[in-house]
Amino acid sequence: MRLLIVEDDALLADGLARSLSQSGYAVDWVDSAERALLAIEHESFDLVILDVGLPGVDGFEMLKRLRRAERYVPVIVVTARDAVSDRVRGLDLGADDYLVKPFATEELEARVRALIRRGHTPTAPQIEVGPLAIDLVGRQARVHGQPLEFTAREWAIIELLVTQPGVALSKERIVQSLSSWDEKLSQNAVEVYVSRLRSKLEPAGVRIRTVRGFGYVLDSPRAG
């Protein structure tokens, strides 16, 4: 999953980016609303973390322009403004969540997971695909009840696949979700990670099928 941080405090942005990257997200950062709108226009992001107190165009105005352009991407507004009127304004302008500074990074990550989960899986946060059980909140996987370990990259790919079962995802879509401006992932790298996932999943009967010339689809029917 690819996130965009819009924050003019370089120290805060760097800390958030490092923490979220360690959790397996691809993270990009810009320090102004103008740069953020340009990035969103030309690239795909799964979620935006938006500061209100930006230089020039502020976060509320950016949110207004983003929604007016009918570009839907989940947005978490983060700000030191804790007045109820500010929260109401942010939500009315189209924010999906509102977090007041200072906040614990763990809480931000929980809200990120919840919004991404809401966008892909409107039901329970645990998904079962045959004998494979994926806990999207605890970021744990089990096969036949036994723990299964994934690297951060492997987890990012399996999360994309299990939250959209039966949907063929292009290699380019996977590359965009796993790449940041500072760390580009190639389609060849995606093939390597998918191969590693197959070696862990196929013995349990969970199949990642190649759609020739396009990408991959999780083929095993969901349990239940």
> Which CATH code for domain 126-218?
1.10.10.10
Burial pattern 8-21, b for ≥16 Cβ within 10 A else e, equals beeeebeebbeebb
Q: What pLDDT does residue 124 have?
A: 52
**Locate tokens 């507004």: which residue?**
77
Give the per-residue pLDDT at 75. 94
Specify the pLDDT at position 1.
Answer: 81
To the question of pTM greater than 0.85 for the whole model, the response is: no
Domain range 2-120, its CATH number among 3.20.20.70, 3.40.50.720, 3.40.50.450, 3.40.50.2300: 3.40.50.2300
* Strand bridging mode 132-135 / 126-129: antiparallel
At residue 39, the pLDDT reads: 92
Domain ranges of the chain: 2-120, 126-218
pLDDT of residue 62: 94
> Which stretches of the chain drop beneath a pLDDT of 50?
121-123, 222-224
Task: Mention every residue, 6+ apart, whose C-beta is less than 8 A from residue 84.
Answer: none
